Chains A and B, each alone.
Chain A
Amino acid sequence: MSDSKTTGSQPDGSATGLRCIIVTPESTVLDVRAQFVALPLFDGQRGVGRGHAPFIGRLGSGEVRIIGDQAAAEGTVIRTFVEGGFVEVGHDSVTIITQRAIPSNKIDAEQARLDFEKVHAAVATGDEAIAAKMQAEETARAKLRAAQNAQ
């Protein structure tokens, strides 16, 4: 994969849509052309289409929805659960850099529910432990939601 394609800031008139890439420390999980991408930023969802003003944002835990490019496969939605990380939006590219990315339909919903209940039931004392618990709970909830959406 060449970097020049993704980092080129000049919008290419001939191409349509966005190039959406999801990178984890182990590999490049996804590299597709998309029409629209919905991102779970740390404070809520944000949609990005072609020509969006460039930004770098922090991601929370949640589902990335990628609506496929018309030319490639119209209306196909790719749902991927990501756990934190960053997103870099250029004029015609969206790069998601995250430590963990799982396709939503590969999440075991039952396991996600058990994990959520376990985190939810845990008792935390002290500010740091409470903050950690809240974070873990939020992640577990987002994972469970992603699993349910995929069903």
Chain B
Amino acid sequence: MAKARALDRRRRSVKNIRKITRTMELIATARFKKAMDRSVAARDYTSRLTKILHNIARSGAGIVHPLLDVRPTKRAAVLVLTGNRGLCGGYNSNTIRQSMGVLGQWRSEGVSSHVAVSGKRGISALKFRGINMAEHYTTFDDKPDFEAVQQIGAGYLAAYAAGEIDRLDVVYTQFHSIARQSAETETLLPLKPPEPVGELAQATRASQEYEFFPFAESILEEILPASFLSRLFKCFLDAAVSEQVARMVAMKAATENAGGLIKDLSRRYNRARQSQITGEIMEILGGVEALKS
């Protein structure tokens, strides 16, 4: 009986785990949808900023700004975006691996780096690897707040303007589609002027001649930091969406795996129970035969 009972106990605990993973999958799905909506809503701002930048470029004003200047890197800032929680497949480990690559590269080039990490998982992993972190944040979850991102961004802009950093790389998980997300390193500073995209490019061609108030350069001075902040915000949003997708997929796989385990355990349990019953019948028959003789 002992074996069958142990199998039954295991089957029950696997069933409980399956309930938990199934719930986590559903929660991640709901959060993913919300995060995705936020990410889509934020796209409009970026595309309109880009459109204005193109209009400025078309007006003949040279796009010259300290944020666009590429200078030799003496001190690089690296911002790593990970999750606060695990159970999301390779999401955190991929980002951490990518960030270790970036940090290793800076070290081999003799460039000192200023490391900031968002997410408990990333903080503990980098601490374990002996990386000195200048900043860490644990407040970003599935709904990154623009104001909080703006504060971080303003800090980087000030440091860049003061010459304390010469470059900013953000390591995060880019969201391509539900089926594909990849850990990427994006250089946000110095800023790259954005490329025109499809519909916008056509719109620019047909667009009217604009007047600028007060003048194009002054608008450029304001628009480039805004463009930087919106890109940084996009990284946070992408990371949030990717984390939820990763958790959704991981929990779906865990639920399916638990289902398989339960099936296997049930089969073994039934077999054990059956053989036990057969054994007992044999014992009774043996006893009857013994009494007869």
Closest partner residue, chain A, to B46 (CB atom):
A25
Q: Among residues 1 to 41 in chain A, which have CB atoms less than 8 Å away from a CB atom of chain B?
A: 1, 3-4, 7-9, 23-28, 41
From B48-56, B107-115, B240-248, give the one contacting chain A: B48-56
Closest partner residue, chain B, to A84 (CB atom):
B222
From B25-33, B174-182, B209-217, B274-282, give the one contacting chain A: B209-217
A95: which of B42, B48, B199, B207 is its contact (CB, 8 Å)?
B48
A26, B51: Cβ atoms under 8 Å?
A: no
A55, B210: Cβ atoms under 8 Å?
A: yes
Main secondary structure of the interface of B (DSSP, over half): helix
Using A25-B230, A55-B213, A57-B212 as known contacts, list a sample of 16 further A-B pairs with CB atoms less than 8 Å apart, ordered by residue number in A. Answer: A4-B199, A7-B203, A23-B45, A25-B146, A26-B38, A26-B45, A27-B38, A28-B41, A54-B211, A56-B52, A58-B219, A84-B222, A88-B52, A88-B55, A88-B210, A99-B226
Name the residue in A8, A54, A97 with the highest tally of chain B Cβ atoms < 10 Å from its Cβ: A97
Q: Tell yes or no: B229 within 8 A of A by CB.
A: yes
Q: Can you identify 26 A-B contacts, CB atoms within 8 angstroms? A: A3-B47, A4-B203, A7-B207, A23-B48, A24-B45, A25-B42, A27-B38, A27-B41, A27-B44, A42-B213, A42-B214, A53-B211, A54-B208, A54-B209, A55-B210, A57-B212, A57-B219, A84-B222, A86-B226, A88-B51, A88-B55, A88-B210, A95-B48, A97-B52, A97-B226, A99-B146
Q: How far is the CB of A16 from chain B (nearest CB, A)?
A: 20
B48, A97: Cβ atoms under 8 Å?
A: yes
Q: Tell yes or no: A43 within 8 A of B by CB.
A: yes
Cα distance A27–B145 in the bound complex, in angstroms: 12
A41: which of B150, B208, B211, B213 is its contact (CB, 8 Å)?
B213
Name the residue in B47, B223, B229 with the highest tally of chain A Cβ atoms < 10 Å from its Cβ: B223
Q: Tell yes or no: A90 within 8 A of B by CB.
A: yes
Q: How far is the CB of A101 from chain B (nearest CB, A)?
A: 11
A25: which of B208, B219, B233 is its contact (CB, 8 Å)?
B233
Cα distance A41–B150 in the bound complex, in angstroms: 23
B203, A27: Cβ atoms under 8 Å?
A: no
Residues from chain A with Cβ under 8 Å of B146 in the complex: 24-26, 99
Known: A24-B45, A25-B229, A56-B219. A7 touches B210 (CB 8 A): no
Q: How far is the CB of B186 from chain A (nearest CB, A)?
A: 17
Q: Tell yes or no: B7 within 8 A of A by CB.
A: no
A3, B200: Cβ atoms under 8 Å?
A: yes
Cα distance A9–B207 in the bound complex, in angstroms: 6
Residues from chain A with Cβ under 8 Å of B218 in the complex: 58
Name the residue in B213, B222, B230 with the highest tally of chain A Cβ atoms < 10 Å from its Cβ: B213
Name the residue in A1, A4, A54 with the highest tally of chain B Cβ atoms < 10 Å from its Cβ: A54
Q: How far is the CB of B183 from chain A (nearest CB, A)?
A: 24
Cα distance A42–B229 in the bound complex, in angstroms: 21
B44, A28: Cβ atoms under 8 Å?
A: yes
Cα distance A2–B203 in the bound complex, in angstroms: 12
Residues from chain A with Cβ under 8 Å of B208 in the complex: 9, 54, 90-91
